[in-house]
């Protein structure tokens, strides 16, 4: 075993997996490299749900030369029949000598069974090389496959004093071109975008990715308790992209029918004055929405945070101060009485996005919130 070479080939597999981010739906991103005697024989990436997995593509490329080779794969090979046959059997049939796995698969249908099957067949298996990188790459999949709840990333852009718009509501543009381009990439990397009805009424956005970013347009989710969504809004008239509206049982039945006839999917969550966000996440998970990019206003951001439903936070700060007591902020909710009760972020990173600052991290909830 050559640790340095193992790491080199696994990093290549991880790089390949990352290129497919946003294409695999609720499936994980996976890369695979087949190597023998210092020569790469095959490479593969899982490109789309329901199609061949990374191991299959790599082994097909390697052909008969895969016998006696080492297979580097970023996620434990599957051991069950799903939309495709089990990958561990494909590796066994190829007579590979060794398999190096970055991370185990948390999917209850796999969860160690693939590794056990390979070892039972006499194949040497090494697990855990660059595990943290693999798990981070599949953080959305890891949550969804174990909880059937979508992984929610909040993205927002504000001035240094925490304002997402001026006191008149003007928000074009808070941040610069580089940050805005990164946001379109984020949209591609999530299965859905979620906003509040206020955003739709104010801006009539398309909620798609730009043509300059090669991407799959995500599903659009609108939180609209009173069903105020106009039938003429872009998110309704553009039928090339799926639109889901979260509303309540109190919403007008005729308006529901009008929007349904226009191709909008209506999801009822709660019978009070507001959408029950926890219930909504369960229903979206049941619709196989595995990840959501939350681009809400202060009220929706605050409600999602209070409910403990945000998994990751990405904050873009422009080097601007706009002021205004009435100017909307990033989070609008009742708030905490003491600084010690504030929600903290862990695994925080800070980087520049052009002239703007990007801060990202993972919120740590108290038991009363999560």
Torsion angle, CA of 233/328/304/24, rounded to 10 degrees? Answer: 50
List beta partners, residue 361: 313
Burial letters for 98-133: b for 16+ Cβ neighbours within 10 Å, e otherwise?
bbbbbbbbbbeebbebbbebbeeeebebbeebbeeb
The answer for 355, left when phi > 0, alpha when psi is -120 to 50, beta otherwise, is: alpha
C-alpha to C-alpha distance for 153 and 311, rounded to whole angstroms: 6
Catalytic, out of 55, 76, 191, 295: 55
Active site residue 55: yes
DSSP label at residue 329: B
Query: Residue 308: how many CB atoms within 10 A of its CB?
Result: 17
For residues 318 and 177, the answer to whether their CB atoms sit within 8 Å is no
What positions carry a catalytic annotation? 55
């Amino acid at each position: 075993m050559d640790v340095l070479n193992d790491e080199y080939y696994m990093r290549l597999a991880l790089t390949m997996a990352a290129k497919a981010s946003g294409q695999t739906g609720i499936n994980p991103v996976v890369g695979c490299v087949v190597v023998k005697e210092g020569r790469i024989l095959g490479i593969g990436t899982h490109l789309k749900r329901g199609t061949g997995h990374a191991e299959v593509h790599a082994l097909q490329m390697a052909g008969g030369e895969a016998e006696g080779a080492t297979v580097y794969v970023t996620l434990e090979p599957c051991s069950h029949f799903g939309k495709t046959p089990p990958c561990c059997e494909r590796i066994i049939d190829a007579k590979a000598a060794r398999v190096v796995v970055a991370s185990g698969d948390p999917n209850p249908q796999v969860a160690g069974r693939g590794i056990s099957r390979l070892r039972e067949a006499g194949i040497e298996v090494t697990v855990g090389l660059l595990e943290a990188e693999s798990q981070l790459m599949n953080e959305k999949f890891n949550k969804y496959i174990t909880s059937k709840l979508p992984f929610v990333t909040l993205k927002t852009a504000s001035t240094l004093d925490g304002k997402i718009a001026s006191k008149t509501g003007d928000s074009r543009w808070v941040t610069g071109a580089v940050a805005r381009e990164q946001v379109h990439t984020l949209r591609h990397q999530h299965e859905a975008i979620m906003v509040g009805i206020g955003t739709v009424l104010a801006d009539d956005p398309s909620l798609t990715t730009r043509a300059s970013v090669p991407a799959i347009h995500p599903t659009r989710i609108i939180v609209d308790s009173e069903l105020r969504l106009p039938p003429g809004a872009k998110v309704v008239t553009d039928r090339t992209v799926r639109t889901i509206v979260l509303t309540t049982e109190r919403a007008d039945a005729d308006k529901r029918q009008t929007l349904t006839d226009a191709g909008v999917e209506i999801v009822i969550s709660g019978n009070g004055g507001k959408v029950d966000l926890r219930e909504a996440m369960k229903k979206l998970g049941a619709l196989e929405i595995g990840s959501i990019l939350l681009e809400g206003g202060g009220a929706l951001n605050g409600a999602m945070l209070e409910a403990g439903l945000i998994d990751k936070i990405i904050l873009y700060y422009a080097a601007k101060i706009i002021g205004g007591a009435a100017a909307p902020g990033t989070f609008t909710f009742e708030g905490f009485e003491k600084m010690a009760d504030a929600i903290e972020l862990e695994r925080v990173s800070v980087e520049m996005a052009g002239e703007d600052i990007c801060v990202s991290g993972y919120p740590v909830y108290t038991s009363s919130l999560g």
